[in-house]
Amino acid sequence: IVALLFEPTRRVVQRWVDRRFFRVRYDFRQAARKFQEDVKSYASIDDLGRLIVERVETLLPVEGIALFLAVEQDVMRPMISRSVTIGDQHLTAAVRRQSDEAGGMLVARAGSVEPGVSHYGADATSFDALGIDIVCPLVRADRRLLGMLLLGPKKSGTRFTSEDVDLLANIAAGGGAEVERILLQRAVMEKADEASRLERLNAVKSEFVSYVSHELRTPLTSIKMFAELLAGHLPRGDRRGREYVGIISGESDRLQRMVNTILDSARIDQGESRYSRRSIRIDAILKDVLRTLKYQMTKEKFRVELDVSRGRGRPAAERFVVAADPDAV
């Protein structure tokens, strides 16, 4: 009963106190200059968001305030919220659409700003549901929406003046520029970290390839040597034994070529690949390759026919001669 009797009186007193003590007077130019100086010293988006909200609350005491920022792939998320209902995503999405349509202009509900102040008319339904009067968009340099500053009614009960609107626009412009700067710095740092990580991985890969290639060459040389020794001690009539030794020798050659290919790939990645060019005959290279691969073709039951034309009108010594690295070819 006591609460019911005294609640109307409390409201009247509270309203009088708000109107009497929250009529904050400020120097617009000094406040704007001070904000522009302070905002440059912040390197964290969270700290910057708190500065924006605290500065607005100090200069323009309002019944509720919220800050939204799109810091990850244009996903708008609430940074700070005080006495503003932001749980309904449909309502916040509706406010964001209006901010997009405003193109950087302040969005205000009818009757919340003084007559003659330039603004974009708001949809009263979503603004009433959220308990806000004004939305001040934070935009990028290309005018894309970067964030939203939602403000409830002024505690003094007065409308937002042209000076208030100019101050909010100034804070939004400076805050948006600094948020974009922080995001760009973060992107540059992430790219630098990624480049450094890739460089380290590349160095580890090159070291690993060199180590493995070196360790493989030693046993391959031994296998090749013992295969040749074994071939020299086999009886001439042991065809199967000679076939098996030939396969062992051929496979060791193939592994050796694979090791060389891996090393060449590693050198190319590092920009260290060197070629020794000289005059070579492509037909001779071709015959050497087929001779090396003959055992593989035989094993897989393939038949290869080589047909090399004679190079009409040119001397025999100049047929198919090119300047190239024979091993690379």
**Segment 154-199, tens digit of pLDDT:** 888 888 988 888 888 888 888 888 888 888 888 888 898 898 898 8
pLDDT of residue 65: 92
Instruction: For residue 89, count other CB atoms closer than 10 A to its CB.
Output: 9
pLDDT of residue 70: 77
CA neighbours closer than 13 Å in the CB half-sphere of residue 16? 6
pLDDT of residue 74: 63
Measured distance CA(283)–CA(312) in Å, rounded = 14
Q: Which residues of the chain have pLDDT under 50?
A: none
Measured distance CA(210)–CA(204) in Å, rounded = 10
pLDDT of residue 133: 92
Can you list the alpha helix ranges (DSSP code H) found in the chain?
A: 2-21, 28-39, 45-59, 89-102, 124-130, 162-233, 239-269, 282-292, 294-299
pLDDT digits (tens, 9 = 90+) for 187-216: 888 898 898 898 888 888 778 877 777 788
pLDDT of residue 211: 79
Measured distance CA(65)–CA(54) in Å, rounded = 10
Give, as one character, the DSSP assignment of residue 81.
E
Instruction: Look up tokens 């209006």; give the residue.
Output: 98
Q: How far is CA 12 from CA 63, 115, 200, 244, 314, in A?
A: 16, 27, 69, 106, 111
pLDDT of residue 151: 92
pLDDT of residue 18: 54
**The pTM is what?**
0.54
N-terminal to C-terminal alpha carbon distance within the chain: 100
Enumerate the β-bridge partners of residue 293.
Answer: none
Measured distance CA(286)–CA(265) in Å, rounded = 22
62 in Cβ contact with 153 (< 8 Å):
yes
